[in-house]
Amino acid sequence: EFLQKLRELCTKHGALLMFDEVISGFRVAPGGAAALYGIEPDLVAFGKILGGGLPCAAFGGSAATMAHLAPLGKAYHAGTLSGNPLAMAAGKAQLAALRDGSAHARLEALGARLEAGVTAAIEAARLPVRMVRLGSLFWLSFSTDAPPRRADRIPASCADVYKRFFHGCLSRGVQLAPSAYEVGFLST
């Protein structure tokens, strides 16, 4: 609903809508969050997920938007790693592996399994924690309240609890994101 309203406002006012799919791209759906929610942004950015973890990034958009870039338009774009052969080969292989949809089905199944196991452990231990998951992305909210939707709404006390939880997991061989403000993600 929020994203649809953004799309409408951008269209109404002639502003570009850009989706940053650096985290969500290819993890939640073959077309990223834009495809999952049925919103067509004017521009989209992808990070190293595109290259299977290698230093690779890309942005794209509608033909009308991209026509502003050289050689058709006046805006010049270049990057240090633009066209790096190894990253491009990895990107091509990554996209080919995602094409049939089986990777997303597997990630969804793994995510659901993780969510069920973590939720059962949380309930058994009666911990004030909630797991939030979208596809292969997950986040632990250390509160029984509804999970916050903005980082500045995460109480400092929750970050302190997460820090202890993180180190407890790490000492048992479980690697999580080191910050209470980061999402975790599964991979195949």
All domains in the chain, ordered by first residue: 2-98 (3.40.640.10), 102-185 (3.90.1150.10)
Query: 80 or 126: whose pLDDT is higher?
Result: 126
- Which residues is 131 bridged to in the sheet? 140
What global pTM score does this model have? 0.80
Structure tokens at 3: 């994203």
Do 19 and 43 touch, CB atoms closer than 8 A?
yes
What is the share, in percent, of the chain residues with pLDDT greater than 90? 40
Burial of 129 (0-12, 13-18, 19+ CB in 10 A): buried
Check pLDDT > 80 for residue 148: no
